């Protein structure tokens, strides 16, 4: 049981680097050539890859919560505001999430870090 994560352009590169050192499968929007996509297209892109989208951008959280209300499916969103959770804690919690969950656990789910 494990899931890959998809990072939008707002996520600190240090988080992705640390997770990769811990053998977590991370794809960034930049890696995917999707760094110019609109938020809704990026959330759809992450969903087609069966990866929850990780972001520091509150607009993503609002959009995902709207999608939940509308019954529009997506493969999950993890929101971490860096004023409320440190980079180190983000790394630890995202590693746990990636290694202990799978895509079915994330169907249209929205999670806020810290857990």
pLDDT tens for each residue of 42-96:
999 999 999 999 999 999 999 999 999 999 999 999 999 988 999 999 999 999 9
Q: What are phi and psi of 90, to 5 degrees?
A: -55, -45
Pair of tokens at residue 114: 């810290």
**What global pTM score does this model have?**
0.95
Percent of the chain at pLDDT exceeding 70: 100
Q: How many domains does the chain have?
A: 1
Structural domain for 63, as ranges: 5-113
Q: Is 87 left (phi over 0), alpha (psi -120 to 50) or beta?
A: alpha
Q: Output the pLDDT for position 83.
A: 87
Burial of residue 39 (CB within 10 Å: 0-12, 13-18, 19+) is: middle
Axis crossing angle, helix 13-21 with helix 87-100, rounded to the nearest 10: 50
Q: How far apart are CA 8 and CA 2, in angstroms?
A: 20
Percent of the chain at pLDDT exceeding 90: 94
Q: Output the pLDDT for position 108.
A: 96
Q: Output the pLDDT for position 82.
A: 84
């Amino acid at each position: 049981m494990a899931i890959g994560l998809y990072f939008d352009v707002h996520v600190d590169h240090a988080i992705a680097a640390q997770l990769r050192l811990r053998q977590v499968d991370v794809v960034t929007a930049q890696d995917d050539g999707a760094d110019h996509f609109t938020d809704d297209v990026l959330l759809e892109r992450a969903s087609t890859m069966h990866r929850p989208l990780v972001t520091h951008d509150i607009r993503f959280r609002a959009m995902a919560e709207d999608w939940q209300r509308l019954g529009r499916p997506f493969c999950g969103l993890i929101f971490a505001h860096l004023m409320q959770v440190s980079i180190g804690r983000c790394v630890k919690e995202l590693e746990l999430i990636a290694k202990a969950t799978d895509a079915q656990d994330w169907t249209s789910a929205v999670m806020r870090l810290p857990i």
